[in-house]
C-alpha cells in the first residue's frame, strides 16, 4: 500500500513507495519520476526568469559588444570592392569557319547546363588561376600589393615558395565569385584598400580566365592531321631504315664510331665523329709519351741513388724516418761527447752511448737500402710500362690504317641518314606549327562589365557591424549565463534539493527577514509556521510505518537552522497529542537551552550528565510550554563529546526514551568535520538534513550524504531553510505560496 506525502508549498501529492522509503533514504523512480512527469523540455518561464535575474549582465555584455563594434568600425581601414561581369556560354564560334568544323564544341545538354556553369565558377576559384594572375601582375614580393592588402611586409627569411603561397592565399581570401541561379553572368569581385588595384586584379581574373579556357580547349581537342601525319610517318620510316643500314654496315665492318652527342651524330663542318680505334690510338700514344717521361725521371733518380753514398740522395734525405734517425743520432753524439769530456772510453755511460749510436747508424743504413730498392722498383716498372705502351701504339697504327678504306662506304650511308633526319625534323616542326595554329577559336567567355575603380568603400559597414555585434553580444551573454548556471553548484531553490542532490524534499522554510522566528512560529498564519506545518505533515508519512520512532536533525554546516527546525518539528508533533522528547545532541556548541525561554538558559543537567551517570533521565527531563513536549539539554560541555556519544550508554538512553515517548528527537552538530552526527544517525530510525538556501553547496552536501550512507542510516529527506521567494534568482521556483496569508491580511486591511 502506498503512503502519500504532501510536497510543501504545492497542492501536488507525491507517492512514496515502501521500497523508496527504505532504499537508504533515497528515492529511486527510474523512468517514471514523478518530479519529472509533465515537465516541458523547453520551459519559457525558466528562460524568462533567468533573463530577468541576469538582466544587468546581459545588458553589460551587449553594450560592450556594441561599443567594441563601433570602435572596430572606426579603426578599420576602408576597403573597396571592384567587380567584373562575365558571360559564360555553352558553345563558341570558330574563327576559320568550315576548316575548323571538326573542333566545334559539343552541345551541352540542358540538364548539364547548371553543372557546366558551376564547373566554370570552380575554375574561377581555382588556385591555378590565382597563380596566373599573380604572375601576370608580378604580385609575388610586391611591396605595394602587400600595403594595398593591409598586411605587413613578409619577413626576409621566407623562401620563394613560401612567399608565393602567402601571396596566393592572400589573393584567394580577397577574391569572390558569384553566379546567381538561372543566369549565365558570373561576377568576379576583389577587395583591396586601393580601388585601382582592386579593379586591376578583378580584370586580370577575367582575362586570365579567358586565356586559360582557350589553352585548355587547345590541349584537350583533337585536330585533323592526316596528311602531315602520313608524311611524318613515311619520313620516320626512311630515317629508321637508313639508321639501321648504317649500324648494320658498321657492325659488319667492325667499325665503332664515336659520334658527337651534341648534334645527335650529325655532321658539323664536314667532319664526322672519329672511330674507337682512332680515339684509342690517340689516348694510348699520349699515355706512351707520358710513360716515357716517367721512365726518364725514374732512371735519373736511380742513377743518383745507386752511385756513391745513399745518404746524399734527395729521396733518402726527404724520407721522414731518415730525418728522425739523423736527429736522434745527433742528440746521442752530443751526449756521447759530453760524457767523453768527463770520463774515459771504458766508462759504462760512454760505452752505452756508443752502442746506441751504432744501433742508429745501422737503422739509417737499413732505411737507406730500402729506399734505394724502392727507387729501383719504380724504375723497372716505368721501363716495362713504356715498352708495353709503345707496343700497343704500333698495333693500333696498323688497325687505324686498315680502317680508313672502310670509312668511304660508311660516310655515304651516314650522309643518307643525316638527310633523312633533316627531312623528318622539318616535317615534325611543321606539324607542331600546325598544332599551334589549329586551336585558334573564339572563346565562349566574354566580358560584359569591366571592373572600374570603386568610388565608395564597401567596408567597414557600421550598420552591419552593429547588427553582427548585437547577435554576438546576445550569443555571448547566453553562453555566459548557461555556463554560469551549469557551474553553479549552490542549492538555492527547492528544485535543487531534488535535482542536484537526488534527495526527497520534506519542506521549505521561508526567510524570516526582520521577523522573530519564535514569534513567527507562534502565529499559525505566518509563512514560517505554515512551512513547518508542511514539514510536520511530510514527516508523518515519511516511512511505511508513519512517523519514525527516533529521528535526528542535522546539517552539513553550522548555523543552517537545524536547532530551530528540530524544535519546530518537536512542537508540531507534540501539538498533535503525541509525547515528544527533544535532546540537544550538540555537545560542542549547544543552543537548545537558549532557544526555549522557559529554560532560562540553564544547562547544568542534561545529556552529558546522563551519559556520565551523574544524574538520571527523570532529573534531566525539562518541561516546556507545550503539554506533551519534554526537553533534555546538552548539559555541561565534556572534554571528549565523541567518546560519550559512541558509548553504549547513549544507545541505552535512546532506547529508554523510546519506551517512554512516542517520538525521540535529537538535535545534532554539523556532519562535516565531526564524527558526532554520523554516530548518532546510526542510532535513530530517520535523519532529516537541514539545508540553508543559497549557502549550502552540492559538494559539501554530497560529502555529508556519503558519510551518512557509510553509517547505513535512513535519510528521510531535506528541509530547505531561509528560502526567499522574492529574490530575483529564486523567482522561477514553484514554491510561491508563502505570502498567501500576508496577501490575505493585506486585502482584509
DSSP β-bridge partners for residue 554: 689
Q: Is the pLDDT of residue 334 over 70?
A: yes
Q: Is 382 left (phi over 0), alpha (psi -120 to 50) or beta?
A: alpha
* pLDDT reported for residue 371: 72
Q: CB neighbours of 659 closer than 8 A, spacing ≥ 6?
A: none
Q: Is the pLDDT of residue 363 over 80?
A: no
User: What is the rounded CA–CA span in Å between residue 340 and residue 346?
Assistant: 10
Average pLDDT over residues 267-278: 53
Q: Is the pLDDT of residue 21 over 50?
A: no
Of the ranges 72-81, 325-334, 657-666, the best mean pLDDT one: 657-666
- How crowded is residue 120: how many other Cβ atoms within 10 Å of its Cβ? 20
pLDDT digits (tens, 9 = 90+) for 461-501: 888 889 999 999 999 988 988 887 777 666 777 777 776 77
Report which of residues 301 and 705 the model is more confident about.
705
pLDDT digits (tens, 9 = 90+) for 577-593: 899 999 988 888 888 87
Q: Which of 479, 490, 499, 483 is nearest to 39 (CA)?
A: 499
* pLDDT reported for residue 17: 35
How big is the chain by its Cα radius of gyration, in Å? 57
How would CATH label the architecture of 518-724+736-748? 3-Layer(aba) Sandwich (3.40)
Q: Is the pLDDT of residue 269 over 70?
A: no
* pLDDT reported for residue 316: 63
* pLDDT reported for residue 133: 93
* pLDDT reported for residue 274: 59
Confidence of residue 292 (pLDDT cuts 50, 70, 90): confident
Average pLDDT over residues 84-109: 59
pLDDT digits (tens, 9 = 90+) for 181-192: 888 899 999 999
Three-state SS at 348: helix
Confidence of residue 515 (pLDDT cuts 50, 70, 90): low
* pLDDT reported for residue 33: 41
Q: Which stretch of DSSP H or E encloses residue 438?
A: helix 407-438
Confidence of residue 2 (pLDDT cuts 50, 70, 90): very low
Report which of residues 424 and 270 the model is more confident about.
424
Return the sign of the alpha-carbon dihedral for residues 544, 547, 548, 554. positive
Three-state SS at 93: coil
Q: Is the pLDDT of residue 12 over 60?
A: no
Summary mean pLDDT of the chain: 76
Average pLDDT over residues 702-710: 79
Confidence of residue 313 (pLDDT cuts 50, 70, 90): low
pLDDT digits (tens, 9 = 90+) for 711-740: 888 888 888 888 877 664 554 455 544 444
User: What is the rounded CA–CA span in Å between residue 666 and residue 223?
Assistant: 106
Q: Which CATH class is domain 77-223+439-449?
A: alpha beta
User: What is the rounded CA–CA span in Å between residue 57 and residue 641?
Assistant: 49
Average pLDDT over residues 369-393: 75
Report which of residues 614 and 603 the model is more confident about.
614
* pLDDT reported for residue 34: 39
Q: In three state form, how does the secondary structure of 296-332 look? A: HHHHHHHHHHHCCCHHHCHHHHCCHHHHHHHHHHHHH
Q: Where are the domains of the chain?
A: 77-223+439-449, 276-405, 518-724+736-748
* pLDDT reported for residue 190: 93
* pLDDT reported for residue 535: 85
* pLDDT reported for residue 442: 65
Q: Which of 690, 538, 501, 498 is nearest to 8 (CA)?
A: 538
pLDDT digits (tens, 9 = 90+) for 220-250: 554 445 677 778 888 888 888 888 888 887 7
Average pLDDT over residues 522-547: 82
* pLDDT reported for residue 465: 87
* pLDDT reported for residue 579: 92
Report which of residues 462 and 50 the model is more confident about.
462
pLDDT digits (tens, 9 = 90+) for 195-225: 999 999 999 999 999 888 887 766 655 444 5
User: What is the rounded CA–CA span in Å between residue 552 and residue 714?
Assistant: 10
- The grid cell for 330 is 745527433
- The secondary structure of 69-109 as a DSSP string is HHHHHHHSPPBEEEEEEEEE-S---BSSGGGGGGGPPPPPP
Average pLDDT over residues 615-619: 87
pTM for this model (two decimals): 0.46
* pLDDT reported for residue 342: 79
* pLDDT reported for residue 401: 62
Q: Is the pLDDT of residue 508 over 70?
A: yes
Q: Is the pLDDT of residue 76 over 70?
A: yes
* pLDDT reported for residue 692: 82
Confidence of residue 109 (pLDDT cuts 50, 70, 90): low
Q: Is the pLDDT of residue 266 over 50?
A: no
Q: Which of 689, 611, 595 is nearest to 651 (CA)?
A: 611
Average pLDDT over residues 519-537: 77
Of 33-37, 140-144, 640-644, give the lowest mean pLDDT range: 33-37
Q: Is the pLDDT of residue 24 over 50?
A: no
Amino acid at each position: 500500500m502506498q503512503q502519500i506525502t504532501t510536497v510543501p508549498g504545492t497542492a501536488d501529492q507525491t507517492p512514496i513507495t515502501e521500497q523508496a522509503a527504505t532504499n537508504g533514504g533515497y528515492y529511486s523512480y527510474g523512468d517514471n519520476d514523478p518530479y519529472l512527469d509533465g515537465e516541458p523540455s523547453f520551459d519559457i518561464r525558466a528562460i524568462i526568469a533567468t533573463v530577468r535575474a541576469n538582466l544587468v549582465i546581459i545588458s553589460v555584455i551587449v553594450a560592450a559588444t556594441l561599443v567594441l563594434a563601433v570602435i572596430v568600425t572606426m579603426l578599420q581601414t576602408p576597403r573597396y570592392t571592384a567587380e567584373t561581369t562575365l558571360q559564360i556560354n555553352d558553345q563558341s564560334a570558330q574563327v576559320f569557319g568550315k576548316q575548323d568544323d571538326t573542333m566545334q564544341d559539343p552541345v551541352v545538354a540542358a540538364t548539364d547546363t547548371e553543372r557546366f556553369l558551376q564547373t566554370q565558377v570552380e575554375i574561377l576559384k581555382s588556385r591555378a588561376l590565382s597563380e596566373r594572375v599573380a604572375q601576370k601582375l608580378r604580385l609575388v614580393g610586391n611591396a605595394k600589393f602587400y600595403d594595398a592588402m593591409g598586411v605587413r611586409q613578409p619577413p626576409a627569411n621566407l623562401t620563394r615558395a613560401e612567399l608565393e603561397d602567402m601571396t596566393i592565399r592572400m589573393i584567394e581570401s580577397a577574391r569572390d565569385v558569384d553566379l546567381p541561379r538561372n543566369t549565365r553572368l558570373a561576377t568576379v569581385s576583389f577587395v583591396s584598400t586601393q580601388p585601382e588595384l582592386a579593379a586591376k586584379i578583378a580584370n586580370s581574373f577575367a582575362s586570365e580566365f579567358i586565356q586559360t579556357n582557350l589553352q585548355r580547349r587547345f590541349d584537350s581537342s583533337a585536330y585533323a592531321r592526316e596528311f602531315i601525319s602520313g608524311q611524318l610517318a613515311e619520313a620516320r620510316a626512311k630515317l629508321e631504315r637508313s639508321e639501321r643500314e648504317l649500324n648494320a654496315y658498321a657492325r659488319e665492318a667492325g667499325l665503332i664510331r664515336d659520334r658527337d652527342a651534341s648534334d645527335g651524330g650529325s655532321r658539323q663542318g664536314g667532319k664526322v665523329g672519329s672511330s674507337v680505334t682512332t680515339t684509342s690510338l690517340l689516348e694510348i700514344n699520349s699515355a706512351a709519351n707520358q710513360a716515357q717521361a716517367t721512365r726518364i725521371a725514374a732512371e735519373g733518380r736511380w742513377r743518383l741513388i745507386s752511385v756513391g753514398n745513399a745518404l746524399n740522395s734527395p729521396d733518402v734525405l726527404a724520407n721522414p724516418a731518415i730525418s728522425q734517425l739523423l736527429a736522434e743520432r745527433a742528440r746521442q753524439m752530443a751526449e756521447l761527447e759530453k760524457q767523453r769530456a768527463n770520463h774515459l772510453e771504458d766508462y759504462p755511460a760512454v760505452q752505452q752511448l756508443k752502442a746506441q749510436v751504432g744501433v742508429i747508424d745501422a737503422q739509417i743504413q737499413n732505411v737507406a737500402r730500402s729506399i734505394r730498392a724502392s727507387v729501383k722498383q719504380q724504375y723497372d716498372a716505368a721501363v716495362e710500362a713504356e715498352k708495353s705502351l709503345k707496343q700497343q701504339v704500333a698495333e693500333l697504327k696498323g688497325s687505324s690504317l686498315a680502317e680508313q678504306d672502310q670509312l668511304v662506304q660508311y660516310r655515304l650511308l651516314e650522309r643518307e641518314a643525316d638527310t633523312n633526319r633533316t627531312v623528318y625534323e622539318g616535317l615534325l616542326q611543321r606539324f607542331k606549327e600546325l598544332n599551334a595554329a589549329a586551336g585558334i577559336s573564339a572563346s565562349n567567355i566574354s566580358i560584359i562589365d569591366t571592373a572600374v575603380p570603386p568610388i565608395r568603400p564597401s567596408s567597414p559597414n557600421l550598420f552591419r557591424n552593429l547588427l553582427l555585434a548585437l547577435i554576438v553580444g546576445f550569443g555571448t551573454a547566453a553562453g555566459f549565463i548557461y555556463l554560469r548556471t551549469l557551474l553553479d553548484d549552490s542549492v538555492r531553490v527547492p528544485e535543487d534539493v531534488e535535482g542536484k542532490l537526488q534527495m526527497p524534499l520534506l519542506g521549505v522554510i521561508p526567510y524570516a527577514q526582520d521577523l522573530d522566528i519564535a514569534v513567527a512560529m507562534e502565529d499559525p498564519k505566518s509563512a514560517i509556521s505554515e512551512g513547518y506545518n508542511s514539514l510536520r505533515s511530510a514527516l508523518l508519512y515519511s516511512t511505511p510505518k508513519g512517523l519514525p520512532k527516533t529521528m535526528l536533525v542535522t546539517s552539513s554546516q553550522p548555523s543552517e537552522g537545524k536547532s530551530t527546525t528540530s524544535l519546530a518539528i518537536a512542537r508540531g508533533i507534540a501539538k498533535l497529542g503525541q509525547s515528544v522528547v527533544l535532546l540537544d545532541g550538540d555537545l560542542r556548541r549547544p543552543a537548545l537551552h537558549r532557544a526555549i525561554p522557559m529554560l532560562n538558559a540553564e544547562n547544568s543537567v542534561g545529556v552529558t550528565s546522563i551519559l556520565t551517570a551523574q544524574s538520571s533521565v527523570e532529573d534531566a527531563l525539562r518541561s516546556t510550554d507545550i503539554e506533551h513536549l519534554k526537553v533534555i539539554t546538552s548539559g555541561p560541555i565534556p572534554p571528549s563529546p565523541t567518546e560519550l556519544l559512541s558509548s553504549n550508554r547513549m544507545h541505552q538512553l535512546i532506547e529508554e526514551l523510546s519506551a517512554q515517548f512516542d517520538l525521540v528527537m535529537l538535535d545534532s552538530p554539523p556532519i562535516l568535520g565531526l564524527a558526532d552526527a554520523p554516530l548518532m544517525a546510526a542510532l535513530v530510525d530517520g535523519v532529516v538534513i537541514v539545508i540553508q538556501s543559497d549557502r549550502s553547496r552540492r559538494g559539501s552536501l554530497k560529502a555529508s550524504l556519503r558519510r551518512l550512507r557509510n553509517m547505513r542510516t535512513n535519510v528521510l529527506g531535506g528541509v530547505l531553510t531561509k528560502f526567499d521567494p522574492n529574490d530575483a534568482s529564486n523567482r522561477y521556483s514553484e514554491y510561491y505560496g508563502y505570502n498567501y496569508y500576508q496577501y490575505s491580511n493585506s486585502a482584509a486591511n
